[in-house]
Structure 1
Amino acid sequence: MNFLWFQPIAVLFPIFLFSFFFCRILRTNSSVSTKRFPPSPPKLPIIGNLHQLGTLPHRSLESLSRKYGDLMLLQLGSKPTLVVSSACAAEQIMKTHDMIFSNRPHLSIPNRLIYNSKDVAFAPYGEYWKQMKSVVVLQLLSSKRVQSFRAVRREEVALMMENIGRLIPFPVNLSKLLIKLTNDVVCRVAFGRKYSGEKDDVANFWEILKGFVELLGNFYLGDYIPWLSWIQRVNGFDAKVGRVANDFDRLLEGILKEHMDRQNMQKNDDQRGDIVKDFLDVLLEVQMNDVVGSQIDKEIIKAQILDVFAAGTDTTYTVLEWAMTELLRHPKILKELQIEVREVVGSKAEVTEDDLEKMNYLRAVIKETLRLHPPIPLLVPRESTKDVKINGYDIVARTHIIVNAWAIQRDPAYWEVPNEFYPERFLNSTLDFKGRDFQLIPFGAGRRQCPGMLFAIVINELVLANLLHRFDWSLPVEGGEALDMGESTGLTAHRKTPLIAKAAPPFSSF
């Protein structure tokens, strides 16, 4: 977190300090609270516990929870915030009292970037959200729809394998290749074509997308200390958010017009039904047919598409990046997985999605990667809609809720050697990440669980299996323990530095 915003109030700090303690004394003397709140760390005037979040909040909050408990109440500026750091407490939030905790707090950046939070991820809980989730789950991300894009995934994975093959014997920037792959798949699924960033009419597509994802995970001071929101107007942050929002809107307007023109031309084309529809095609049909019983306008369509990008690009490539990182650090596990993949595939040149069903160790590796490296370590915040008791503690309405998936998935109460990469733990276990087992919740659980889970997992499995089938992998420098494991800041915790590795043709032919 950037602390430069402290400087303008440094002179007034003594006045704030005096006012804080004076008001607190008056409040204490006037009434005695009968409520029992969760334990809290000491807090500072005005900012509360904001200074304790650090640059990697999931780690800072995990450290605090070891001292103050799995239900910990922080004061982030003016916002009471409950931090949840155990599977039992998470189950209370996302299952027992899921209805009460299904709302989203108002957050300025998603609100400005995603059309007043008209998407599924950040929209407030209510009838509108229910209708949009129904559209997304049934029309965009159903099992049938995900299967319809098998050819897209196969073609893009094959292209990446060819690109890696051409780079041998030089080191490969796997991070860059994985970003390109996931972006290309999502573009084709959402828009029907790729945007290469070279000769397209939207040549700056990737720069806009990068800025969008980075901003989405940013901390906005005005959400927590409203009267200090002017600081982010002065330092140019507000202008940057507005610029990215406008750039993406212009981009989506052009793509939307392209699709609408094409649909108008093809209204009477009997062959249209045989073509695999992309997400924009589907949303335009939902709009035309009034599927959900309320008018869907262009802003709503664009908001759902932005959700696909936010959830489908950064998070998907992050899992692949960490999976390859851990495999390179653990050559024996890499070899074990490679043996399974090559035995299943045999002499075929590529892994198909039908082959994946037979790869139990591959699924274990994916689960263990999601456990140690959840793409979003602090799940998207929730907000309580009414007063409720959790484990004997009073949680008041409009409290923000942060579920620390990273801490829960490394909790020694549920996991042996919790910080070790050990896929074998899942081989004879029914534990899964689908929202039933609260010690493993990389996609969340309950009403607000990520609806794109199936879409992401099939890409992760297919790419990882093909990488290990087609090539032998090693680090450019011997010694996996020396590999930088630093995490980036922001909503998504990907690697701080790109993953560089060496690919080589396998010794055995296939």
Structure 2
Amino acid sequence: MRAFVSRLYGLSGESVVLMEHLTRLTLSNISRMVLGNKYFGVSGGDDRVVSDSIVSLQELQEMINEFFFLIGVFNIGDWIPGLYFLDLQGYVKRMKALKKKLDQFQDHVFDEHEQKKKESSKDFVARDMVDLLLQLADDPDLGVKLTYDALRGLTLDLISGGTDSTAVTVEWVISELIKHPQLITQATEELDRVVGRERWVEERDIPQLPYLEAIMKETMRKHPVAPLLAPHMAMEDCNVAGYDIRKGTRVFINTWSIGRDPSLWEQPEEFRPERFLGRNIDVKGRSFELLPFSAGRRMCPAYNLGLKMIQLSIANLLQAFNWKLPDNAK
């Protein structure tokens, strides 16, 4: 976080494409948790690769960006199978190239972790998610055998899921706040009152910053990262709000429309964090009018990490800088 703020400080007075820096922050953070400190560390106020890894942090970021682009494209061959082999848009070629790069990088990471595990022998302690997954893969009592393909998929899920969603939410927060300067004033007044200006805001301060939390919740209401939650399935015949839903029906939850439902929210198109002050509406799957992380057994497993990263990022950005649109734009 200090390296992130330091990089932005070096750009003070310039126009900044904030998403690039936010993605770098979240990617370096989640990469250290998933892959280990050996690959990505902080030195001299900046991120750097601290091993002979075959990709740099920037290259990994480019691969993740390409991954998100390709899973969202409209590929003609998927809808007209007879044209699939032609790869008219070149997306399949790009997917294959990306898979090759990701496989090379992940195999390099797995091999180094396996070697470290062998060298440690009985003293081995899992220090990151790859260590843990490799332990599970070697467990003969595990109900579902983890293959290398499964390990690749799980690590990619963790890195991509923990990178884009947090960065997008923080970008939306700053976008809304810049359009409402009075909200920035209120948020910084709270920071000055709780934290002061003699030290940086820390994770332990977050519970004492209710207005900051309200800003985050209002952003998640108006700009959910997943407008449609991961598909669910009806496990039995049921009736919901007068509608008969048959067993096996695939169910999509539209959080975007819920967040703009005037029967739930007064003036839903307005950005008003105050609507969450004094109201017991959480984002942990218990308040169905606000479900940014889904609910139940298919809820995002890393919601707690996401909340901490989002709130700490917002707090640092507001504490460190005065934000406005470039060229005095309105």
Q: TM class, shorter-chain normalised?
A: 0.7 to 0.9
User: Quick check: 1:461 aligned with 2:311?
Assistant: yes
What's 1:216 paired with?
71
Kindly provide the amino acid, as one letter, of the partner of residue 265 in structure 1.
E
Deviations 1:118-146 (A, max 9, x none): xxxxxxxxxxxxxxxxxxxxxxxxxxxxx
Shift of 1:462: 0.8
1:230 aligns with 2:85: no
Asked if 1:167 is matched to 2:11, the reply is yes
- Select the residue among 405, 411, 429 that pairs with 2:279: 429
Who is 1:239 aligned against? 93
Cα distance per residue 1:206-264 (max 9 Å; x no partner): 222111112223345666x5xx2233432133333333233222221111111111221
Moved more, 406-415 or 210-219: 210-219
- 8 Å CA contact retained: 2:232, 2:251: yes
Does the CA-based 8 Å contact 2:176-2:271 persist in structure 1? Answer: yes
Separation of aligned partners in 2, 1:250 and 1:209: 14
- Equivalenced residue count is 317
Q: CA 1:217–1:170 in structure 2 vs 1: closer, same or farther (change >3 Å)?
A: same
The change in CA–CA distance for 1:232 and 1:351 in structure 2 (over 3 A counts) is farther
Q: In structure 1, how many angstroms separate the alpha carbons of the residues matched to 2:180 and 2:132?
A: 43
Any unmatched runs of 5+ in structure 2?
Answer: 41-46
Asked if the contact 1:410–1:418 (Cα under 8 Å) also holds between the matched residues in 2, the reply is: yes
How far off its partner does 1:297 sit? 2.4
Tell me by how many angstroms 1:381 deviates. 2.6
- Compute the displacement of 1:409 (Å): 0.6
1:473 maps onto 2:327 in alignment: no
Q: Quick one: which of 103, 112, 125 aligns to 1:249?
A: 103
What is the rounded CA distance, in whole Å, between the counterparts of 2:276 and 2:106 in structure 1?
42
Aligned in 2, Cα 1:239/1:400: closer, same or farther, shift over 3 Å? farther
Distance 1:395 1:240 in 2: 40
3-state DSSP class of the match of 1:357? Answer: helix
Larger deviation, residues 209-218 vs 285-294 = 285-294
Segments of structure 1 that go 5 or more residues without pairing to the other structure are: 1-156, 481-510
How far apart, CA to CA, are the structure 2 residues paired with 1:240 and 1:398? Answer: 35
1:264 — aligned with what?
A: 118
Partner of 1:309: 159
- Give the counterpart letter for 2:83 in structure 1: I
Q: Distance in 2 between matches of 1:412 and 1:261?
A: 57
Correspondent of 1:176 among 7, 12, 20: 20
Q: Superposition pairs for residues 103-502 of structure 1, below 5 Å? A: 157-192=1-36, 193-194=39-40, 200-203=53-56, 204-219=59-74, 225=79, 228-234=80-86, 235=88, 236-269=90-123, 273=125, 277-290=127-140, 292-384=142-234, 388-396=238-246, 398-480=248-330
Q: Distance in 2 between matches of 1:200 and 1:178?
A: 23
The secondary structure found in structure 2 opposite 1:300 is helix
- Summarize the Cα distance change of 1:402–1:468 in structure 2 as closer, same or farther, 3 Å threshold: same
How many Å apart are 1:448 and its aligned residue?
A: 1.2
| 1:197/1:205 contact within 8 Å kept | no
Tell me: CA distance 1:382–1:219, structure 2 relative to 1, closer, same or farther (3 Å): farther
**SS state at 1:380 partner:** coil
Is the contact between residue 284 and residue 295 of structure 2 (CA under 8 Å) also seen in structure 1?
Answer: yes
Q: Distance in 2 between matches of 1:243 and 1:422?
A: 45
Alignment RMSD: 2.5
TM-aligned CA distance change 1:302 to 1:181, over 3 Å:
same
Shift of 1:364: 0.5
Aligned residue for 2:161, secondary structure, equals helix
In 1, are the aligned partners of 2:24 and 2:61 still within 8 Å (CA)?
no
Return the alpha-carbon distance in structure 2 between the equivalents of residues 291 and 207 of structure 1.
Answer: 38
Q: Which letter maps to 2:71?
A: L
Question: Deviation at 1:279?
Answer: 1.1
Maintained 8 Å contact 1:320/1:460: yes
Larger Rg: 1
Q: Partner amino acid for 2:66?
A: G
- Higher RCO (C-alpha under 8 Å, 6+ residues apart): 1
Q: Is the 8 A contact 2:233 2:251 kept in 1?
A: yes
Q: Aligned-pair distance for 1:388?
A: 4.5
Identity of aligned pairs, percent?
Answer: 32
Task: Summarize the Cα distance change of 1:382–1:186 in structure 2 as closer, same or farther, 3 Å threshold.
Answer: same
